[in-house]
Amino acid sequence: MTEPAAATDGVVIKRLEVDAADWVDAVTEARGAGFSFFDWLTAVDQTDLEESPGLDVVCHLLDPSTPKALRRIMIRTRVPDGESLASITGVFRGAAWHERETHEMFGLEFDGFDDGTGLGLRPLLLPDGFEGTPLRKSFVLAARASKPWPGGKEPGESEHTKPTGRRRVSAPGVPDPEWGPR
Amino acid sequence: MAGVELGMPRMGAAADLAPQPVKVVLNWGRRYSLWVFNFGLACCAIEFIAASMARHDFIRLGVIPFAPGPRQADLMVVSGTVTDKMAPAVRRLYDQMPEPKYVISFGACSNTGGPYWDSYCVTKGVDTVIPVDVYVPGCPPRPESLLQGIIRLQEKIAQESLSTKVIRAKYAGHRTATAGEVTRGLVTPPAADTVTRAEP
Amino acid sequence: MDAVPLATRLPSVSPYVVVAAVVVVGLLLFVAAMGARALIAPKAPTRAKLTTYESGVDPVGRDWAQTQIRYFVYAFLYVIFAVDAVYLFPWALVLRSTHLGAASLVEIAVFIGVLLVGLVHAARRGLLRWL
């Protein structure tokens, strides 16, 4: 495990940055150190960065031993796009749903996923027949293309505000004008 | 399950023969005894509940009681964000309500998708799945807005003249095609080589 | 104002006739309401409308569910305690005043005895234990 810049945010959350290969070991070690309450696991789409693009997988654990002074730790790892990460369902059974949601929203595969049902890594929240991984920045939100929506859709577009002269940044997911509406 | 012919929507035999005063009385009875089926999905449901409580009280408009299910209701108030996963349930519950039935769309999310219109999973307005009679705008609307919406619906019912032709027009639309048959293909992105990015 | 009171001028009617009249009026009211509904109400059955209600989703399983017979103990205990009390209270009130005598005491002892048999059965089955 790389020595983290284990900077503590004041006294609130301890952050730990690990390599993808040490993911399960880091989580197991944290659990052994008293962080036995699994809070959540999710990912952040960082595939548009120049250096080491990938998905940041974040796991938040708490130490519930002193209820008035909870210790928290946030363990983070970066997984290059297309690769898979080891599943922590062997350490925390409750991570199964979080890994299912991360898988359906980001397309991230978890090796060794086991939630006891034998059904494997499957969608949790999205309706049947939904195609795509919605929380990725590359997922285009086609609502703007399906029909003309009135009013200003981005900051500064409305007729009530003066144009700031700021270079308009196209937010991730906003479809090109060529998409429509036609 | 094909086989039983259910027949087109129709009124009872005497409804078309009823004279105008009878229709006025029936409209009066119908609009002042709306049984509401609250389809509360999100924050607007809290405003709906506030509108039913002591200060704003839509019960004094005759909207009592809270129907335990769609089959005892004639007014459905869709309050809150309708997601694509919930939309079939909204449609099914609307279908299970007996005629004549009315729908109030309460709040921006059920009117048009609201602040979440851009989302991948939000239905852009409940009127894409069920016919709506009154739209109450707001995010969330004040309880007084709901009272105004109910009064507006009552005015609308007062001008109604239910006949076989009218309800066939209103309720038989889905007989000609089910929702599953009326589908539009996915919006395909334009081919990569034809895209020319417009300069800001 | 007439000196003869109204009650003596109307024909005297047996109370059974009055009860029968109330029943008939009730039936007529029901028939009138359902008839008006059949004549005036809209009818628009669709296949989706006729499906069994299950909170907006397709129903799973059959629409017929059998109550399990083991819940009869609730009715059983209710009869022993509540229905029994309903009969005991009026009896206790009229026992002395109407000279029912010792025969009535014996009768009620038989009544309570039958209920006690049931109560003993319930106790033997462990139904009176509070867990």
Instruction: Examine residue C37 and state whether it is found in any structural domain, yes or no.
Output: yes
The Cα–Cα gap between B155 and B134 comes to: 11
Residue A112: the pLDDT is 92
Nearest CA in chain A to B119: A141
Per the structure, the complete domain to which residue C59 belongs is given by: 6-124
Residue predicted with more confidence, A149 or C109: C109
Q: Are B93 and B39 in contact (CB under 8 A)?
A: yes
Instruction: Calculate what percentage of chain A has a pLDDT beyond 90.
Output: 50
Which pLDDT score, from 0 to 100, does residue B130 have? Answer: 92
Report the complex ipTM.
Answer: 0.75
* Chains B and C physically touch (3 or more Cβ atom pairs below 8 Å): yes
Chain B residues touching residue C50 (CB < 8 angstroms):
6
The answer to the question of residue C53 being in a domain is yes
What pLDDT is attached to residue A4? Answer: 47
Instruction: Tell me what the pLDDT averaged over chain A comes to.
Output: 85
pLDDT tens-digit profile of C35-91?
A: 999 988 888 888 888 888 888 888 888 878 888 998 998 999 999 999 889 999 999
Please report whether residue C18 resides in a domain: yes
Q: Which chains reach chain A with 3 or more Cβ–Cβ distances below 8 angstroms?
A: B
A149's CB contacts (< 8 A; 6+ apart) are A143, B117
Check A127 against B84: CB less than 8 A apart. Answer: yes
Is A40 a residue whose pLDDT tops 50? yes
Torsion from C-alpha of B145, B147, B150, B154, nearest 10 degrees: -120
Whether B139 has its CB under 8 Å from any CB of chain A: the answer is: no
pLDDT of residue A161: 66
Cα B149 versus chain centre, distance: 13
Contact pairs from chain A to chain B, CB under 8 Å: 44
Question: C8-31, pLDDT tens digit by residue?
Answer: 777 888 889 999 999 999 999 999
Residue C56 in domain: yes
Q: What is the pLDDT of residue B197?
A: 53
Q: Rounded to an integer, what distance in angstroms lies between the CA atom of residue C94 and that of residue C63?
A: 51
Q: Given this model, what pLDDT does residue C117 score?
A: 94
Pairing of strands A13-18, A71-79: parallel
pLDDT score, position C11: 81
CA dihedral B135, B136, B140, B145 (to 10 degrees): -170
The reported pLDDT for the residue numbered B112 is 92
Q: What is the pLDDT of residue B182?
A: 60
Most confident of A97-106, A130-139, C37-46: A97-106
Q: Give the model's pLDDT for residue B154.
A: 96
Q: Where are the beta strands (DSSP E) in chain C?
A: 42-43
| Residues of B whose CB is below 8 A from A175 | 189
| Omega within 30 of 0 (cis) for the link into B70 | no
B195 has a chain A CB within 8 A of its CB = yes
* Chain C residue with the nearest C-alpha to that of B71: C53
**Residue C36, domain CATH:** 1.20.58
Helix axes B20-31, B143-158, angle to 10 degrees: 160
- Whether the CB-CB separation of B110 and B81 falls below 8 Å is answered with yes
Asked if B110 and B125 touch (Cβ cutoff 8 Å), the reply is yes
* CB contact (8 A) between residue B18 and residue C40: yes
pLDDT value for A169: 64
Cα C63 to chain centroid, rounded: 27
In a domain, C95, yes or no: yes
Chain A residues closer than 8 Å to B190 by CB: 176, 178-179
The answer to whether residue C131 is domain-embedded is: no
Are chains B and A touching, using the cut-off of 8 Å on CB pairs and a minimum of 3 such pairs?
A: yes
Q: Higher confidence at residue A146 or residue C118?
A: C118
Q: Is the dihedral of CA C86, C88, C92, C98 positive or negative?
A: positive
Identify the H or E element spanning C97. Answer: none
CA C112 to chain centre: 22
pLDDT at C108: 92
Q: How many domains does chain C have?
A: 1
Residue C28 falls inside a structural domain: yes
Assess if residue C27 is contained within a domain: yes
Partners of B99 on chain C (C-beta within 8 Å) are: 41-44
Each residue of C36-62: b (16+ CB within 10 Å) or e? eeeebbbbbebebbebeeeebeeeeee
Among chain B residues, CA nearest to C47: B6
Across the interface, do B190 and A178 touch by the CB < 8 Å criterion? yes
pLDDT tens, N- to C-terminus, chain B (200 residues): 445 677 778 888 888 787 888 889 999 999 999 999 888 999 999 999 999 999 999 999 999 868 888 999 999 999 999 999 999 999 999 999 998 899 999 999 999 999 998 889 999 999 999 999 999 999 999 999 999 999 999 999 999 888 888 887 777 655 555 566 666 666 677 776 655 554 44
What confidence tens digit (pLDDT) does each residue in A13-25 have? Answer: 889 999 999 999 9
Q: Does residue A26 sit in helix, strand or coil?
A: helix
Q: What angle do CA A21, A22, A23 make, to 5 degrees?
A: 95
